[in-house]
């Protein structure tokens, strides 16, 4: 039987997802002239000029926020602001400061005890990737034909009125699919992954990992990654049931969109703007009452081994979705309630840059707005304050990170669960309804009659009597209680 092991540090991590072009710009990185104004609305093709040295210069802000791990979307040379169209897997994009800037970021982050995970785009490359470019120049005479999946000639990489004649991700001819059944392509990808681990990165987030179906590919990837750094984090972009990848022989976790969709459906209720979620691969509608949400969470926690549950990457939104604030029609309470759940759920929470200050955004490119560093008057400081408070609570109490999980109560729109270990017992409760909620629940603890509780986050009315917790919460409110003798 396979012994499942996952990186211990991930169980104690709070991630912060950074989209480099939009997070922060440093004057130390030379820039071309034709950049969009930092504060103007983002466009699909335009660049703002964010870079990795800008991230370095904001590490004190991130430390103060409480995050201790970064997930950085692609940084390698690319002709796009999002850099999912890779030209050179060994060269950090010059607009981001080049390889030296990554070295400085890794050193500065590690000095603060902060880990750095990069985005690996290994399913497809780009039209500018050297081997594909050679095919465009030399046609059927290129020695690199079997690195890709060519159907016919001539290739049409730009003219949409003609068949592309090669396989591309989602039919996007800008993204020729790599032929991972070719041993040379497979070895190329493995060596790229190994190279950057040797350079000091702490893990890989694997873009559209479900698209790579070559037998044994991800098993080999794991073996080679873990041979270099047994504590390296491997997380796949899988939006739905991920059991086939989470048996301990491939990924340590996935981007937990099953948690995302259910949590939005519960906390936002009928506020969800359907146009912003209907083409995503998660289910944020219809609205869930507390019992249905509790059932979905119980189902999710039964999908994978506990060792895997603790290293899932939990999120509320990302560069691939509208921001939760917009999904909920601007309802700030939804974001607050969902963030309480995010920070107390098993697995590693991940905050999308700017969510902590209430940065809005519809679908791409709007969800990728620039961080308004020069305009703190635009920040939602209440949202920033509760992010700091909830992150601090999670990091202060091991039970909120690695403690057991127990459903306690689910009725109407009030949901409560416990996180506990041998040293501490916490109750997390959410009232997603528009009216006050009264809940009564058994804590199933020895000597309950001698116990008392106190609010460590939020407010309400709570008491313990004869082994039962009696709790009253205001409308659209949440709390965290600590139960003690």
Give the DSSP letter string of 93-118: -GGGTHHHHHHHHHHHHHHTT-EEEE
Question: How confident is the model over 63-88, as a mean pLDDT?
Answer: 98
pLDDT of residue 232: 98
Rounded to an integer, the average pLDDT of 342-348 is: 98
Q: Is 8 left (phi over 0), alpha (psi -120 to 50) or beta?
A: alpha
Residue 449 has pLDDT above 70, yes or no: no
How far is residue 335 from each of residues 329, 358, 391, measured CA to CA in Å?
11, 9, 15
Q: Is the pLDDT of residue 193 over 70?
A: yes
Answer whether 309's CB lies under 8 Å from 345's CB: no
pLDDT in the model for residue 485: 77
What the block records as the tokens of 417 is 């669960």
Q: What is the pLDDT of residue 448?
A: 66
Give the span between the Cα atoms of 337 and 477, in whole angstroms.
7
What does the pLDDT read at residue 78? Answer: 98
Q: Residue 447 pLDDT > 80, yes or no?
A: no
Q: What's the confidence (pLDDT) of residue 397?
A: 98
Tell me how crowded residue 112 is: count the other CB atoms within 10 A of its CB: 11
Whole-model pTM: value is 0.97
404 in helix, strand or coil? strand
Q: Provide the edge-to-edge strand list for the sheet that holds 253-254.
A: 253-254, 233-236, 203-206, 115-120, 69-72, 15-18, 348-352, 313-315
pLDDT band at 323, cuts 50/70/90?
A: very high
Per-residue pLDDT, 436: 98
- Residue 394: the pLDDT is 98
Q: Which residues are catalytic?
A: 207, 237
Under the banding of pLDDT at 50, 70 and 90, the label for residue 43 is: very high
How do residues 166-183 score in pLDDT, each as one tens digit? Answer: 999 999 999 999 999 999
**Distance between CA atoms of residues 157 and 165, nearest Å:** 9
Provide the pLDDT for residue 1: 60
The 3-class secondary structure across 152-185, one letter per residue, is CCCCCCCCCCCCCCECEHHHCCCCEEECCCCHHH
Assign 483 to helix, strand or coil: strand
Token reading at 20: 């480099």
Asked if pLDDT for residue 356 goes beyond 80, the answer is: yes
> How far apart are the C-alpha atoms of 390 and 426, rounded to whole Å?
13
275 pLDDT higher than 70: yes
| Strand-pair partners of 418 | 406, 427
**What's the CA gap between 109 and 181, in Å, rounded?**
36
Q: Which residue has the tokens 């601007």?
A: 330
| Residue 178 near residue 85, CB atoms below 8 Å | no
For residue 451, the model assigns a pLDDT of 84
Can you tell me the mean pLDDT for 293-305?
A: 98
Whose CA is closest to 85, among 24, 5, 176, 153? Answer: 176
Check pLDDT > 90 for residue 254: yes
CA distances from 431 to 311, 333, 436, 438, 459 (A): 27, 11, 8, 9, 12
Instruction: Count Cβ atoms within 10 A of the Cβ of residue 450 and give its class: 0-12 exposed, 13-18 middle, 19 or more buried.
Output: exposed
What is the model's pLDDT at position 176?
Answer: 98
- pLDDT, one tens digit per residue, over 394-428 is 999 999 999 999 999 999 999 999 999 999 999 99
Given a cut of 90, is residue 242 above it in pLDDT? yes
Contacts of 82 (CB under 8 A, 6+ apart): 19, 21, 73, 74, 319, 368
Q: Per the omega criterion (within 30 degrees of 0), is the bond before 154 cis? A: yes
Strands, sheet with 461-465, edge to edge from the N-terminal-most edge strand:
437-442, 468-473, 461-465
Give the per-residue SS3 of 282-317: CCCCCCCCHHHHHHHHHHHHHHCCHHHHCCCEEECC
Provide the mean pLDDT of the chain: 97
DSSP annotation of 255 reads: B
Cα–Cα distance between 42 and 133 in angstroms, integer?
29
Percentage of the chain beyond pLDDT 90 is: 97
All structural domains of the chain, each given as residue ranges with its CATH number in brackets, are 8-123+180-396 (3.20.20.80), 403-484 (2.60.40.1180)
- Please give the average per-residue pLDDT across 121-130, as a whole number: 98
- The CA-atom distances, in angstroms, between 92 and each of 20, 38, 146, 414, 456 are 12, 22, 26, 48, 44
């Amino acid at each position: 039987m396979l012994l499942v092991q996952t990186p211990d540090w991930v169980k104690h991590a709070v991630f912060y997802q950074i989209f480099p072009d939009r997070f922060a710009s440093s004057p130390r990185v030379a820039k071309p002239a034709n950049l969009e104004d930092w504060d103007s609305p983002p466009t699909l093709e335009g660049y703002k000029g964010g870079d990795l040295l800008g991230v370095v210069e904001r590490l004190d802000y991130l430390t103060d926020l409480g995050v201790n791990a970064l997930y950085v979307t692609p940084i390698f040379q690319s002709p796009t602001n999002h850099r999912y169209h890779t030209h050179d897997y060994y060269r950090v994009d010059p607009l981001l400061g080049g390889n030296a800037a990554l070295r400085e970021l890794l050193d500065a982050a590690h000095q603060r005890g902060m880990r750095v995970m990069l985005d690996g785009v290994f399913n497809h490359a780009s039209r500018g990737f050297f081997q594909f470019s050679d095919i465009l120049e030399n046609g059927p005479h290129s020695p690199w034909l079997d690195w890709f999946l060519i159907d016919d000639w001539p290739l049409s990489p730009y003219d949409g009125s003609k068949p592309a004649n090669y396989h591309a991700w989602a039919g996007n001819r800008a993204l020729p699919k790599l032929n991972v059944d070719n041993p040379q392509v497979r070895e190329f990808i493995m060596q790229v992954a190994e190279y950057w681990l040797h350079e000091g990165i702490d893990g890989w987030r694997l873009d559209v990992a479900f698209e790579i179906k070559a037998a044994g590919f991800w098993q080999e990837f794991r073996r080679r990654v873990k041979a270099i750094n047994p504590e390296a984090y491997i997380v796949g972009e899988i939006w739905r049931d991920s059991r086939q990848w989470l048996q301990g022989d491939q990924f340590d976790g996935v981007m937990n969109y099953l948690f995302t969709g259910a949590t939005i459906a519960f906390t936002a209720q009928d506020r969800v703007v359907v146009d912003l979620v209907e083409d995503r691969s998660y289910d944020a509608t219809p609205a869930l009452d507390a019992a249905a949400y509790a059932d979905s969470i119980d189902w999710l926690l039964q999908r994978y081994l506990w060792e895997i549950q603790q290293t899932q990457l939990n999120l509320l939104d990302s560069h691939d979705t509208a921001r939760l604030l917009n999904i909920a029609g601007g309802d700030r309470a939804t974001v607050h309630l969902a963030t309480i759940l995010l920070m107390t759920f098993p697995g590693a929470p991940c905050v999308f840059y700017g969510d902590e200050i209430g940065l809005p955004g519809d679908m791409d490119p709007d969800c990728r707005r620039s961080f308004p560093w020069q305009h703190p008057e635009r920040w939602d400081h209440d949202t920033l304050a509760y992010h700091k408070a909830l992150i601090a609570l999670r990091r202060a109490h091991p039970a909120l990170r690695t403690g057991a999980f127990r459903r306690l109560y689910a009725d109407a729109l009030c949901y409560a669960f416990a996180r506990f270990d041998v040293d501490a017992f916490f109750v997390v409760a959410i009232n997603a309804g528009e009216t006050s909620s009264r809940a009564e629940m058994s804590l199933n603890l020895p000597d309950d009659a001698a116990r008392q509780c106190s609010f460590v986050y939020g407010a309400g009315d709570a008491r313990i009597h004869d082994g039962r917790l009696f709790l009253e919460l205001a409308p659209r409110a949440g709390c965290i209680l600590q139960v003690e003798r």
